[in-house]
Each structure stands twice: as structure tokens, then as C-alpha cells.
Chains A and B, each alone.
Chain A
Amino acid sequence: MWEQISDNQVRSTILVIAMGILLIMVGSLLGQALLGDWSFGLVISLLIWLIMTLIAYFQGDSILLSLSGAKKIGPDDLPRLYNVVEEMKIASGLEKMPDVYIIDDPALNAFATGRDKNKTSVAVTAGLLQRLNRDELQGVLGHEMAHIKNRDVMLMAICSVLLGTIVILAWYGSRFLFWGGLGGSRRGSSSGGGYAQIIILIVAVVLMILAPIMAQLIYLAISRKREYLADSSSALYTRYPEGLASALEKIAASTEQMKSVNNATAPMYIINPFRKKGQVAEDLTSTHPPISERIRILRAMAGNVSFAAYDFAYNQVHKGGGGIMPGSALSETAQIAEKEIRVQAISADTIDDKKERARETSEVLWGLNDYRSVTCNCGTKFKIPPDFFSNTFQCPHCGAINRI
């Protein structure tokens, strides 16, 4: 059923090719304008693209993980998170368990990465762990698992590399054009070069300005579509759209911003990490659909979690203009009831649950930062920093001397 999603790749592929053509145009025009040789510019631009793609392919995930300061955890470090990831891995039918990472950041966010289905990772922030209950966490990780399953990670990597190459070429190109263009016109006047060179220069300048914007828009079109698809896949995996909807609501309400993100890594996250406080309706220039809209669509699914139901809900929220889901996914199954299985009840999120989650999360973060835990005989717990100078310390509570 879910492999059908790959049909959607066709549309994405067309957009990727469009970006590729844009790159070729920029490259060859730059070559023509600067050196009078379009093929040279073409070769150079393709070479830059190739190198960047290779880096993104082989090092992309580790660069992303280290940029965000993510730390890998095992099943015993944080059973709840690890288990939920495994549950979603099973629900999505993914063959191999992704590596699980934690980012020490109070903001609420998550992302998935990986170049193929044998080497994937998901990362969540400490803030997310602390604030979301199990159902909400399932919804978010279902969304991330869908990105892996639908091969979005690779697609977005290819796209961001293309975009990056175009932006770099246009940036340097416009500067070279400016200086080189002046030199060129001097040379042009001496050799009597005609209008052709000037026209090429003008076209090149215009393209240098337009290309990055066009590439950006194509890129955004692709990434937003994938977000909707991942949302609906998450609803299908968990059989419970409310989990993700409620998680998105909490994420939207939080005001913390991610500490370590840049333009290139932004579309990898579950919500746009650059989102400003209180910002609701983002325009064309956002990698993610507006969060309030995503929540409304999920809530409009009304007990049916199939792709068709998501498409229908999208149309309702948008008042027509749908077709967000690939056609083959729609024809497959008309009705999939919500929550066929529901083993744990979602009780109201009690204060105790929240405390427990906060304790659990901070415990893991201490551990990941090499703090040691010592419990005094009086019951007081201490966290000893890794660079603590002495082997013993006195408990300020009962006065006993503790060994480390």
C-alpha cells in the first residue's frame, strides 16, 4: 500500500529536473558572459554540483547531526523514546531500526536523516521529550518515519544541494559579472565587440537575480508537499491523527527557537525552526505549510485515517484545490478506521506524568554530558560534573562524606 507513494516521486522528479535546468542555464550563461565560452561555464557548474552532491550523499547525515549537536542514545538510556521509535518503525514496515539521537535544546523539534534505508537516524530535542506524552511523541515520530519511508530525506538533500549550487554560482557570478563585466566592456570597445555581448551580459545579470529566487520557490514547493504527505502517513501509521495534531499544537504554542539551525537544514525539521513567535500564516517563502493548517486538516479527518480521508480533509480546509496526495494512494483504500488497536489509554496528561518526563529527560542529558550520579545515604541525589577535582565530597544535607 505504502510503496505507492513513490508515484509522487514523478512530480518531485520533474521539479528536480527543472532545478537542474536552471543550474545548467546559470552555468553556461555565466561562462558565456565572463569567458565567452558557454561550455566551460557549464562544465564548471556541473563539477561544483557533483562535488557538493557527493559530500551531501556520503557526509550529509553526519554533518547535519553534528551541526545540531545531536547525541546518540541506546535502548537503555531512554527506553520511552527508543521504544516509541521502534513502534513507529514497526508500524511503517521499515526494515531497519534508525539510530536515535537527542538534541540538548529546550525548543520543540525533531528531524530525520539518512541516505538510504539501511542507514537512517531520527533526532528529537530534549524539549520535545519533556513536553509531549506518548501519543503525541508517536505522532511526531510517525511523521519522521514517513520522511524516511517516502525517501524524502534523499530528495530534499538533492534539492538543497542544487539550490545551494545555484545560489553560490549566482552570488559569485554576479560579483564577477560586475567587475569582469566592466573589464569586458573595455576589452569590448577596443576590439569593437557589438551588442551581442551586452545583451548576454544583461540576460546574465537578470538570471543571476532571478535564478536563486526561482530555485528557492521550486524547493519550497517540493518540501511543503512532502510535509503534507508525511503528516498523512503519520496518521495512517498511528491510526490516530489527534496525536500528531495535539503535538503540533504544543509545538506551535512554544516560544523557544532552535539554537543551531541554518537555511540548509531547516526543511529537515518537523516544523520550521525559524518560525517567529506568534507567527501563524507563512507565505510562499516557507519550507513548511502553516502549522495551524496542518492541525486543522488532521482534525478534519473524522475517524478515518486513510490517504483519501486526508486529501478530503485538505480540500475541506482549503475549500477545494486539493490533489495533495498521489492518485494511486487514493484509489487503494477508501476507509481505514481510526485506532484499530489502542492498548494504552490516553489519560489526561497529569502533573505526575509531566514531572516524570522532566526528570527522565534531564537524567539522560546529565548522563550524555558525562555527569556521574551519586546517591547519599540520606537519599539526596547528586550529579557530579566530569571535571570535579576530588574523589570525595560532603553531603550538604546530612553532612556525611561520600565517595565518587
Chain B
Amino acid sequence: MVLIIGLVIIGIIIVLLLVFAGTYNGLVGARNQVKNAWAQIDVQLKRRHDLIPNLTETVKGYMKHERETLEAVTNARSLAIKAVDGGVAAQSKAEGELSQALSRLMAVVESYPDLKANQNFLALQEELTSTENKIGFSRQFYNDSVLKYNNQTQMFPSNIVASMAGFKPGEFFEVTAPDEREAPKVSFS
């Protein structure tokens, strides 16, 4: 009788351990996906930072009266580069401002038909449009991954394992610039 009870207890412990291990591995997998998704955003942000000097250089010659708009882009870029090591919140704020400055610049471009005929500019515009899209999509995937991971760390029963093993909830990459949510009135296509 004692033997049977003992076996049952051992069996329960083994099952609990297996469940623990499974949940733990699931959490690690979700956290790795978040990290990986973040790396994707980073690649695209870096690409955008690299494109901007080229863009301002090309545009400068055509735009005599838009010094402020150009400077705003350059400043926002250097702030965004500084924010790279400042954590998710700071970085998403700086990048949001850069997006805004860029969309103002691209809006201004509409009134320079010569510029729009420049092959070099068109190629840059395509690259920039796509990089903006890629940033958006990688952010979307990142936020979805964070949501999934956070759900796991906060929902019963995996939250028990998460708090025991010290899994901290992930941070969303929010759009902080207030009017970035609305589509700018520019035709990038």
C-alpha cells in the first residue's frame, strides 16, 4: 500500500517535472523569437540610417528652399543613431521622429518634378519606401512575437514557471510619434 502511494507520488512528481520542462522550453523559444524579431528590426533601421545621407546628398542640389526640412531629417537621423543603445522605448521614439521628418521631406519632393525624373533619386526612393515597409513589417512581427511571449508569461499555468525562472515580459515597439499612425499624403509608389 505504502509502495503504491510512493509510486503514485513519484509518478506525479515526474509528470510535474515534464510539464515544467515543456513550459520552460516553450518560454525560451518564445523569448528567442522576440530577440530574433528585434534583430530583424535592427537590420532595417540600420539600413535606413545608411540610406539617408545618400538621399539628402541627391536631393540637396534640387531643393534650394528646403534647408530646414533637410536639416530636420539629418538631425533626426543622428538622434536615432544615438538612441540605438538606449532601449526599446527610447529607440522607438527616436525612430518615430525620423519617420515623421522623412515623410515631410518626401511630401516636399512632390513639388520638384526635375527631382522626380532623376533615375538615381527614383532608385533611392524605391529603397527608402521598401525600407520603411520592412521596418513596419518587422515591427509588426516583433510586436506579435512580444504579445505571444507576454501572454505565455502572464497566463496560468505558464506564468508560474515564468515567475520561478525569471522570465520578464517583453517591451512593445510602439509608434510614439502621434501622427505617424495616419498615412502621410505622399505617393511613394
Contacts and interface: CB of A to CB of B under 8 A. Distances in A.
Contacts of A276: none
B77 interface: no
Given A79-B126, A87-B130, A90-B40, A341 B140 contact: yes
A342 B183 contact: yes
A88 B103 CA distance: 22
B132 interface: yes
A63 B185 CA distance: 45
Given A1-B148, A86-B134, A343-B132, A79 B189 contact: no
Contact of A80 (B126, B148, B185): B126
Contact of A345 (B139, B175, B188): B188
Nearest to A80: B126
A344 interface: yes
Contact of B134 (A79, A87, A92): A87
The 5 closest A-B pairs by CB, nearest first: A341-B136, A83-B130, A344-B188, A347-B187, A91-B137
A143 interface: no
5 contacts: A91-B141, A93-B37, A134-B129, A239-B140, A340-B140
A370 interface: no
B186 A344 contact: yes
B186 A90 contact: no
Contact of B189 (A1, A90, A133, A340): A133
Given A344-B186, A345-B185, A79 B130 contact: yes
A345 B180 CA distance: 12
Contacts of A168: none
Interface in B125-174: 126-127, 129-130, 132-141, 143-145, 147-148
Contact of B133 (A1, A79, A92, A343): A343
B123 interface: yes
Nearest to A336: B144
Contacts of A92: 141
Nearest to B131: A83
Contact of B127 (A79, A91, A344, A347): A79
Interface string A130-174: 000110000000000000000000000000000000000000000
Given A91-B141, A343-B136, 18 more contacts: A1-B144, A1-B148, A83-B133, A87-B133, A87-B134, A87-B137, A90-B138, A92-B141, A133-B189, A237-B137, A340-B140, A341-B133, A341-B140, A342-B136, A343-B99, A343-B183, A347-B187, A347-B189
Interface residues of B, number: 34
Contact of A344 (B44, B133, B139): B133
A229 to B, nearest CB: 18
Nearest to B43: A90
A92 B133 CA distance: 13
B22 interface: no
B125 to A, nearest CB: 10
B86 interface: no
B132 A344 contact: yes
Nearest to B136: A341
A67 interface: no
Contacts of B33: 93
Given A80-B126, A343-B129, A134 B137 contact: no
Which among A79, A88, A134, A341 has the highest number of chain B CB atoms within 10 Å? A341
A83 B127 CA distance: 8
Contacts of A133: 189
A353 interface: yes
A57 B37 CA distance: 31
Given A133-B189, A344-B186, A345-B188, A83 B126 contact: yes
B189 A346 contact: yes
Contact of B184 (A88, A333, A345): A345
B137 A344 contact: no
B78 to A, nearest CB: 22
B130 A86 contact: yes
Which among B33, B126, B145 has the highest number of chain A CB atoms within 10 Å? B126
A92 B132 CA distance: 16
Interface string A334-375: 000000111111110010010000000000000000000000
Nearest to B188: A344
Nearest to A88: B137
A90 B134 contact: yes
A251 B124 CA distance: 30
Which among A79, A90, A91, A133 has the highest number of chain B CB atoms within 10 Å? A90
A196 B141 CA distance: 63
A134 B132 CA distance: 14
Interface in A1-44: 1
Given A83-B130, A90-B138, A341-B140, A353 B189 contact: yes
B139 A341 contact: yes
Nearest to B122: A356
Interface in A72-91: 79-80, 83-84, 86-88, 90-91
